[in-house]
Structure 1
Amino acid sequence: MNKLFKISMPILLILGLVLATGCAAAPPPVPEEAPPYPSVSPPAPEKGYFDEDQSRPSGGEYTEATVDRKIVKTGYLTLEVEDIVEAMDDVAGIAGELNGYVVSSNKHEDDDRISGRVSIRVPAERFDEAFDRLRQLAVDVPYESTDSRDVTEEYTDLEAQLHNLEATEAQYLALLEKAETVEDILNVQRELSNVRGEIERIKGRMQYLERTSDMSLIEVNLQETKPLGETGWNALETLKSAVRGLIIFGKALANIAIWLVIFCPIWVPILIFLLRWRRRKAKA
């Protein structure tokens, strides 16, 4: 028993030392949660930053609400009336009643017949009303047509060009204030004059598009109706027609003669052969 105790004691001491060494070398426990860090917020947008997607309206709202469409309407009417002068006055009266005006008016007389032409402009929203009222002036309406032209894209492009030119004009004015020599002043004034000329040209075109889209044009041709019982016979016209027919007949004869002369080497021998053959047959 003592012998067993003596043998086991050193073994137990060695095991105890090994366990103590292992416990001392083990690392301290690490907490599962990570230490807190200060949160970093995203940087604020720079001053003057413009978000195009946020500022632009959605599809249909953008195109319909922000774009003012400009349509140029034009109408053409041919009216047969009993009295040309009275009808011209009535057309001008209709234009005035619809807050429009007469652009041009003229009367023409030819072969004892009178015709007239009146061009008027009426507000675009009353274009159809004007057409209906003009039809009521006529005994017959042999011809009428309407035409619409969308000039919105052209007008929008002109607006953009005008904005750019006005910005360029402001820059030239700033340079003109800073110019020191006479040469610099003259150069800037020359360029400034060119820019202002372009601005005036574009403004004039824009005003024309605005005016023609706001006030539609209607051109009215007036013809006098033929009285009942009128045959429409005219001796002078008959004579002219007869002369034209004679000239056409003469040209046809001349064409035939030219063809006969050109092809005589072909048809003349054939004709001679046929005549001789007929004579021989008659003698036999």
Structure 2
Amino acid sequence: MVRHILISLVLLVFAITGCNKDEGYNYSEYKEYESANDYALSIPATSIPPPPPPKIYSDGSIKRKIIKTGQIEIESNDVSEDYNELKILLKNTSAYIESEDQYRSDQEISYTIKIRVPSENYDTLFNSMVKGADRLIRKQSNIEDVTEQYYDLKTRIKNQKALEERYLQILKNASKVSDILEIESKLTEVRSEIETLEGKFKYLSKQISFSSITLLMVEELSYNHIPEKNTGFGEKLLGSFDNGWSIFLSFVVGVFRFWPFWIILIISFILFKRYRKRRKNGLSKA
């Protein structure tokens, strides 16, 4: 009987010791971890999945977002005149020139113009430019559907701003320095992501609102004979005569430029000859 009592006491001691080891924390620490601040910080921002993008229904409940781009290449009889007519078209369609480049050679004059036009006026301007061309060389028009990308960016920005607001609320209730620093670090990351997404969204919105048309106008020039650039044998021979005559004229001008020295040289020569003649006569008399 005593033996059974001792065994029961030993088992009871081991059971109590095992329970203490399994707990490993006190109740106050557990409650502190379960507080709003620490529990919120234990959930990383990246673990919060964004909601799926909105569905695009065929009934048009969500407006499609498209980007229109066009290229037109024409041959012009007078580039300057066509350029002035283009400005009138741009004014009538609320369009503007984003960039332009002019190139001129001996054979042609070309204008490369990039135009921005409100999307609703794209077709009007594009067709007017094609109809008004003297000779159409090439035309191309593209439509890109970016509806899913547009609404995806919009949703991601909304989610990031909601996450930013959540961190701000947690920051108000935070008391530990380590928690405050961690929350501020997360806020910096979220705000940086918001700026990046908003930049992409603004660029995409501009592409949607204002379509682009690239216009190339080319005017062929009449052929002009330029000896310096058309160097055949006959032209080289004629050029050599011309160069020889120029050298001769330069020589004559150079000779007359030193006329005082020539006068001194001639007088010296005359005096020298007289001196030699007198000396020769004197020797013959002796």
Establish whether TM, by shorter chain, passes 0.5: yes
Which whole-Å CA distance do the structure 2 matches of 1:188 and 1:148 have between them? 44
Indicate whether 1:173 and 2:168 are aligned.
yes
Indicate whether 1:64 and 2:76 are aligned.
no
* 1:126 alignment partner in structure 2: 121
* 2:196 alignment partner in structure 1: 201
Contact 2:108–2:221 under 8 Å retained in 1: no
Shift of 1:137: 3.5
TM-score, with length taken from structure 2: 0.55
Report the aligned-residue RMSD.
2.8
Q: Which amino acid aligns with 1:203?
A: E
Shift of 1:173: 0.6
C-alpha change, 1:124 and 1:233, in structure 2 (3 Å) is: farther
Which whole-Å CA distance do the structure 2 matches of 1:136 and 1:190 have between them? 59
What SS does structure 1 have at the residue aligned with 2:59? helix
Which whole-Å CA distance do the structure 1 matches of 2:92 and 2:82 have between them? 15
Partner of residue 138 from structure 2, selected from 140, 143, 167: 143
TM-score, with length taken from structure 1: 0.56
C-alpha change, 1:120 and 1:113, in structure 2 (3 Å) is: same
Larger radius of gyration: 1
Q: Structure 2: state its 5+ residue gaps.
A: 1-54, 233-286
* 2:98 alignment partner in structure 1: 103
Shift of 1:84: 2.0
* 1:39 alignment partner in structure 2: none
C-alpha change, 1:238 and 1:125, in structure 2 (3 Å) is: farther
Shift of 1:80: 1.1
Shift of 1:149: 0.5
* 1:74 alignment partner in structure 2: 69
Which whole-Å CA distance do the structure 1 matches of 2:168 and 2:104 have between them? 59
Shift of 1:171: 0.9
Contact 2:109–2:221 under 8 Å retained in 1: no
Runs of 4+ residues over 3 Å off in structure 1 = 230-239
Which whole-Å CA distance do the structure 2 matches of 1:199 and 1:123 have between them? 27
Contact 2:68–2:144 under 8 Å retained in 1: yes
Shift of 1:179: 2.0
Greater Cα offset, 213-222 or 200-209 = 200-209
Which whole-Å CA distance do the structure 2 matches of 1:234 and 1:135 have between them? 39
Matched-pair identity in %: 30
Alignment of 1:125-274 (within 5 A): 125-226=120-221
Q: Which amino acid aligns with 1:132?
A: N
C-alpha change, 1:176 and 1:113, in structure 2 (3 Å) is: same
Q: Structure 1: state its 5+ residue gaps.
A: 1-58, 240-284
Which whole-Å CA distance do the structure 2 matches of 1:114 and 1:193 have between them? 53
What SS does structure 2 have at the residue aligned with 1:141? strand
Shift of 1:233: 11
Shift of 1:232: 11
Report the count of equivalent residues. 178
Which whole-Å CA distance do the structure 2 matches of 1:183 and 1:131 have between them? 61
Contact 2:107–2:220 under 8 Å retained in 1: no
Q: Which amino acid aligns with 2:89?
A: I
Q: Which amino acid aligns with 2:159?
A: N
Which whole-Å CA distance do the structure 1 matches of 2:100 and 2:88 have between them? 13
Which whole-Å CA distance do the structure 1 matches of 2:104 and 2:160 have between them? 52
Q: Which amino acid aligns with 1:85?
A: S
Which whole-Å CA distance do the structure 2 matches of 1:170 and 1:110 have between them? 61
Deviations 1:55-107 (A, max 9, x none): xxxx99x4434311011010000111122233233323322220121111121
C-alpha change, 1:164 and 1:238, in structure 2 (3 Å) is: farther
Which whole-Å CA distance do the structure 1 matches of 2:138 and 2:228 have between them? 29
Q: Which amino acid aligns with 2:172?
A: E
* 2:52 alignment partner in structure 1: none
